[in-house]
Amino acid sequence: MKRVILPVVLLLTMATAGEQFAMSDADRAMYKEMLENNPADIYVEEGGELLEEQLGGEAALAKFLGVSEKELPKYIAGFPRYIKKLGNVVGIDQVLQAMQVEQGKEKYKLKSEKMFSMLAYVKSLANDEQIAIDINADKYIKASYDLGKKTFETARGGRGLSCLSCHSKDIVGMVLRTQPLPDLGEAGAGATWPAYRMTKSSLRTLQRRFQGCMKNALLKVIPIGSKEMVGLEVYVSTLAQDKKQPIAIPGLKR
């Protein structure tokens, strides 16, 4: 019984919260202006230094990926993608980890601040590019996309919630605790993470954000870099790709 009622209650709360607490356009503009002074810029800069010192910078990254430095931004815009060398569809962070292993360097944890910084820097190289994930490029990326979509839609946990409970097309624009629920594609979620999360006063990645979402919704938290998480990143990134949202790293989130 409980399982059925709670989502319904949640939906009702969302519906009746009303417009009175929704932010005005002037307010939104003010928060947008804050992007110019994003504390995460400091982490991104640090990420660039780490990449340079630790792994040999963009040149080494391009070499590892088997592309020219000139092609690198567009190639990065296609992550997560299947990397033959690693035998998997992986995120940028997993590529950086593999480079650390190859060069015999200390391996940063996927959930560490340093890895977040480095990932944010690398993804920022693709700023202004469109996300370019081709889900039909090979069977691996297709499988990853399908798993991501399934993970997005599967109701889990004590309350039987899925990502879709708050992010389906039907409820976009409803206000959940003063925040209008965004269309993840329109909001460019896949293109604006890693971002500075004001609530956490730190730089967070998309997969780390998914974890926060799962925790709050009482779903079992899936580890960063797992097949499901990478799949989720692929799926959510393609939503932004469909809406042609350009990559803009670091983002700034409430």
Contacts with another protein, residue ranges (CB under 8 A): 21-24, 26-27, 30-31, 33-34, 36-37, 39, 41-43, 45-46, 166, 176-179, 198-201, 212-213, 215-216, 254
75 or 193: whose CB is closer to another protein? 193
> Using CA atoms, how far apart are residues 185 and 205, in angstroms rounded to an integer?
17
User: Is 84 or 254 the residue whose CB approaches another protein more closely?
Assistant: 254
Residue 24 vs 136, nearer CB to another protein: 24
State which residue, 22 or 98, has the beta carbon closest to another protein. Answer: 22
Nearest CA-CA partner of 248 in 184, 198, 193: 193
Angle at 79 between CA 77 and CA 80, to 5 degrees: 160
Closer of 141 and 252 to another protein (Cβ): 252
User: Token pair for residue 33?
Assistant: 């202006």
CA 211 to chain centre: 11
| Shortest Cβ 36–another protein spacing (Å) | 8
Beta-bridged to residue 179, according to DSSP, are 176
C-beta of 199: minimal distance to another protein in Å? 6
Least distance in Å: CB of 39 to another protein? 4
88 membership: H or E segment, kind and range: strand 88-90
Which residue, 68 or 178, has its beta carbon nearer to another protein? 178
Report, in Å, the least distance between residue 26 CB and another protein: 7
Backbone φ, ψ for residue 233 (5° rounding): -65, -40
Which residues are within 8 A (CB) of 194 and not within 5 positions of it... i.e. 6 or more apart? Answer: 40, 116, 119, 120, 123, 203, 204, 205, 206, 249, 250, 251
Q: How far apart are CA 70 and CA 60, in angstroms?
A: 13
In angstroms, give the least distance from the CB of 139 to another protein: 35
Calpha distance 190→198 (Å, rounded): 18
* Max Cα-Cα span within the chain: 58
Q: How far is the CB of 41 from another protein (least distance, A)?
A: 6
Tokens representing 239? 């939503």
Rank residues 147 and 214 by Cβ distance to another protein and give the closer one.
214
String of b and e for 35-49 (b: at least 16 CB within 10 Å)?
A: beebebbebbebbbe
Minimum Å distance from CB 124 to another protein? Answer: 15
